[in-house]
Amino acid sequence: MSATPRKKAVVLISGGGTNLQAFIDASQRRELDFELAMVVSNRSQAGGLTRAEDAGIDTRCLPSKGISDRAAYDRSLATELDRLAPDLIILAGFMRILSAPFVSRYAGRILNIHPSLLPLYPGLHTHARALAAGDREHGCTVHFVTEELDGGPPILQGRVAIEPGDDPETLAARVLQVEHQIYPRAANLFASGRIVYRDGQCLLDNKVLSKPLRYPDSL
Ligand code: GRF
């Protein structure tokens, strides 16, 4: 009798890779229900590449600088990914908008983490925007990626209180800590088959998730 093969994930990064590190740490603690098969960066200087190499994970760099043809870049990216046939694509600070053909090729298999309580503040400068709005809480969301920027169905959110005296940097640092907690957990829900993307919605245990799970209460 053969064991079911472990699911394979590819992590896409552009920068320092602290979320990638959270996955690496969870993997080393044997807490991930899938294998980190490869890390791909669109920037050669991304610190996350070193983190992956140090952990013995296969890496690729596909520089995007100066490439204006988004569809062509995404086709090269897909060629790299298809060699591995990943079950899951984890965007971890990948600072590129993916083209519609790329998203539809991997529909329901791409996750992203966004530093806000979506649907609040899609796009950039989320911490400054939450502060400017006078919000009392802020946080982060793991969601499925669709063609709409930061608009795919949310899976899991983590919240932080906004404290008097917070600035975008202090708030970002606290949110990042929570990102590291929720992202591997959300990816595990996907890898175990409990969370599924279907027809623009997120299903948990075959039921439509009408609002995102909350960490730590819902898990
Ligand atoms: C995080 O803030 C994440 O929410 C956003 O990009 C940043 C990546 O940080 N998508 P890191 O490279 O994982 O440290």
Task: Give 163's pLDDT tier (boundaries 50, 70, 90).
Answer: very high
Question: pLDDT above 70 covers what percent of the chain?
Answer: 99
pLDDT at residue 13 greater than cutoff 60: yes
**pLDDT surpassing 70 at residue 192:** yes
Pocket test for ligand 1, best of 179, 180, 181, 182 (most atoms within 8 A of CB): 179
Assign 1 to helix, strand or coil. coil
So which residues are the catalytic ones? 114
Within 8 A by CB and 6+ apart from 150, the residues are: 112, 114, 118, 122, 123, 143
Instruction: Indicate the helix (H) or strand (E) that contains 35.
Output: strand 34-41
Given its phi and psi angles, is residue 137 left (phi above 0), alpha (psi -120 to 50 degrees) or beta? Answer: beta
pLDDT digits (tens, 9 = 90+) for 90-149: 999 999 999 999 999 999 999 999 999 999 999 999 999 999 999 999 999 999 999 999
In 92-200, where do the E strands start and end?
110-114, 137-144, 154-161, 195-198
Q: Which atom of ligand 1 is nearest to the CA of 15?
A: 12
18 C-alpha to ligand 1 centroid (Å): 7
Q: Is 128 left (phi over 0), alpha (psi -120 to 50) or beta?
A: alpha
Cα of 93 to ligand 1 centre, how many Å? 4
Mean pLDDT of the chain, nearest integer:
96
pLDDT of residue 7: 97
Number of Cβ within 10 Å of residue 167's Cβ equals 10
Task: Report residue 76's pLDDT band, with 50, 70 and 90 as the boundaries.
Answer: very high
CA distances from 14 to 33, 54, 165, 203 (A): 24, 17, 30, 29
Query: Measured from the CB, is residue 74 less than 6 Å from ligand 1?
Result: no
For the four alpha carbons of 206, 8, 119 and 140, in that order, the dihedral sign comes to positive
pTM for this entry: 0.97
- As given in the structure block, the two tokens for residue 145 are 């990626």
Q: What is the mean pLDDT of residues 186-199?
A: 98
Q: β-pairing, 7-13 with 195-198?
A: unpaired
Residue 192: Cβ within 10 Å count? 11
Nearest-CA residue for ligand 1 atom 14 is 18
Q: 34-73 pLDDT, tens per residue?
A: 999 999 999 999 999 999 999 999 999 999 999 999 999 9
For ligand 1, the distance from its centroid to the CA atom of residue 21, given in whole angstroms, is 11
Whether 2 shows a pLDDT value over 80: the answer reads: no
Cβ pair 23, 92 in contact under 8 A: yes
* Mean pLDDT score, 69-87: 96
Averaged over 181-206, what is the pLDDT?
A: 98
Which domains can be identified in the chain, with CATH numbers? 1-106 (3.40.50.170), 114-141+154-219 (3.40.50.170)
